[in-house]
Amino acid sequence: MLYPEIEHACRLKKDLIPLRLQTKYNPDGWLAQVIGSKMYFDFSRDENLENMTTSLVRELGSRGRSRTAVAAAAAAASATSAVVPAGLSGLGKI
């Protein structure tokens, strides 16, 4: 049941990031009202997987990470000149 989780997230003023996992699925009823006109990340087709993953990582940025982890990642990034692996370059603020 998804409704209690979305209701709880809205009450706590958490961001909702919709993911589309099934082709041709369009939300209706209360879910359509909650999502409204938000853009979703379309993971319903295999050819979208890499682009959507990169976009999702960029959108998430540092959300959900502790301040200590964010500070450590920033310090490590500035202390090294190593090449960042593909897919991780989108981490950080938008």
pLDDT digits (tens, 9 = 90+) for 37-80: 788 899 999 998 999 999 999 988 878 777 777 777 778 777 75
Q: What is the pLDDT of residue 10?
A: 85
Give the closest residue to 57 by CA, choosing from 29, 38, 84, 34. Answer: 84
Amino acid type, 26:
N
> Which range (15-19, 54-58, 87-91) has the least confidence?
87-91
Domain boundaries, the chain: 3-79
What is the 8-class DSSP label of residue 48?
A: G
DSSP 92: S
Whether pTM exceeds 0.85: no
What does the chain come to in residues?
94
Phi and psi at 40, nearest 5°, equal -115, 160
CA-CA distances (angstroms) from residue 68 to 21, 56, 63, 84? 33, 22, 13, 20
